[in-house]
Structure 1
Amino acid sequence: MKISDLLHELNLDTSLYNELKDIDVTGIADNSKDVKNGYIFVANEGYQLDGHDYIPNAIQNGAILVIGEKNIPNQETPYIQVENSRKVLGVLSKRFYHNPSKDKFMIGITGTNGKTTTSYLIKHILEKHGKTCSIIGTIQNTINGQNIPSFNTTPSALTINKLISESNDEVVIMEVSSHGLTQHRMEGIELDIGIFTNLYHEHLDYHRTMEEYFQAKLLLFNHLKDNGCVITNTNNEWGEKLVLILKERGIPIYSIGELENSDIQLLDFLLDESLIVVKEADKTLQLTSSMPGIHNMYNTAMAYLTARKTGVPSEAIITALPSFQGVNGRFETYKQDNMPTVIVDYAHTPDAIFHCIASAKSYGAKRIIHVFGFRGNRDQTKRPQMLEITSTYSSNYILTFDDLNNVPEEKMHKTLEELQHKFGNHKGSIIPDRTLAIQHAIEIAGESDWVVITGKGHEEYQHSFSLETTSDKETVQYIMNQLSAQKIPN
Structure 2
Amino acid sequence: MELWQLMKDIGFDNQVNKELDIQIKGITDISSNVREGYLFIAIRGGQVNGHDLIEQAVQLGACAVVGEEDRESETIPYIKVENSRKALGHIARHYYGNPSKQKVVIGITGTNGKTTTSYLVRHILEESGISCSLVGTIHNIINGEVVEAVNTTPNSLVLNELLLKSNDQVVIMEASSHGLAQFRLEGIEFDFCVFTNLTHDHLDYHGSIENYFQAKRSLFDKIKPGGKALVNTDDAWGEKLITLLQEKEVVTYSVGQSNRNDLRILDFVTVENPSLLVKEVQETVTINVPMVGIHNLYNSAMAYAVAKQLPIETEHIVQSILRFPGVEGRFEVLKQKNGSIVVIDYAHTADAIFYCLKAARDSGANRVVHLFGFRGNRDLTKREEMIKVTAEMSDGYILTMDDLNSLPMDEMVKTYKSLNTNYGNHKGEIIPDRTLAIKQAMEHSKPNDWIVITGKGHEKYEQDFKLPTTSDMETVKYINNEL
Q: Which TM class, normalised by the smaller chain length?
A: over 0.9
Q: What displacement does 1:311 show?
A: 2.4
Cα pair 1:144 1:168 within 8 Å, conserved: yes
Cα pair 2:333 2:343 within 8 Å, conserved: yes
Cα deviations across residues 363-388 of structure 1 (Å, max 9, x unaligned)?
A: 11110111100111111110000000
Distance 2:81 2:106 in 1: 31
Distance 1:87 1:266 in 2: 39
Q: What displacement does 1:247 show?
A: 1.1
Cα pair 1:30 1:44 within 8 Å, conserved: yes
Q: Report the equivalent of 1:239.
A: 238
Q: Report the equivalent of 2:411.
A: 411
Q: What displacement does 1:18 show?
A: 3.9
Q: Report the equivalent of 1:391.
A: 391
- Structure 1 unaligned runs (5+)? 484-490
Distance 1:62 1:402 in 2: 43
Q: Report the equivalent of 2:274.
A: 274
Distance 2:110 2:8 in 1: 35
Q: Report the equivalent of 1:195.
A: 194
Q: What displacement does 1:14 show?
A: 5.7
5 Å-filtered alignment, 1:279-358, equals: 279-358=279-358
- Structure 2 unaligned runs (5+)? none
Cα deviations across residues 110-129 of structure 1 (Å, max 9, x unaligned)?
A: 11100000000000001111
Cα deviations across residues 282-338 of structure 1 (Å, max 9, x unaligned)?
A: 222111211211100100000001000122221110121121100111001111321
Q: Report the equivalent of 1:85.
A: 84
Distance 1:480 1:373 in 2: 22
5 Å-filtered alignment, 1:126-141, equals: 126-141=125-140
* TM-score, normalization by structure 2: 0.97
Distance 2:54 2:461 in 1: 33
SS in 2 for 1:226: strand
Bigger Cα displacement from structure 2, 191-200 vs 288-297 = 288-297
Which amino acid in structure 1 is aligned with residue 73 of structure 2? Answer: N
Cα pair 2:198 2:213 within 8 Å, conserved: yes
Which amino acid in structure 2 is aligned with residue 97 of structure 1? Answer: Y
Distance 2:348 2:82 in 1: 35
Q: Report the equivalent of 1:206.
A: 205
Q: Report the equivalent of 1:454.
A: 454
Q: Report the equivalent of 1:151.
A: 150
Q: Report the equivalent of 1:116.
A: 115
Asked if residue 421 in structure 1 is aligned to residue 421 in structure 2, the reply is yes
Distance 1:54 1:469 in 2: 39
Q: Percent identity?
A: 51
- Aligned-residue Cα RMSD (Å) equals 1.4
Distance 2:340 2:25 in 1: 57
Distance 2:247 2:14 in 1: 40
Cα deviations across residues 344-403 of structure 1 (Å, max 9, x unaligned)?
A: 000000000000000001111110111100111111110000000001110110001111
Q: What displacement does 1:419 show?
A: 1.4
Q: What displacement does 1:78 show?
A: 2.4
Q: Report the equivalent of 2:69.
A: 70
Q: Report the equivalent of 1:487.
A: none
Distance 1:336 1:441 in 2: 12
Which amino acid in structure 1 is aligned with residue 332 of structure 2? Answer: E
SS in 2 for 1:228: strand
Q: Report the equivalent of 2:221.
A: 222
SS in 2 for 1:180: helix
Q: What displacement does 1:101 show?
A: 0.5
Cα pair 1:17 1:78 within 8 Å, conserved: no
Bigger Cα displacement from structure 2, 362-371 vs 263-272 = 263-272
Q: What displacement does 1:61 show?
A: 2.2
Cα pair 1:154 1:177 within 8 Å, conserved: yes
Distance 2:267 2:171 in 1: 32
Aligned length in residues: 482
Cα pair 1:399 1:416 within 8 Å, conserved: yes
Distance 2:453 2:13 in 1: 56
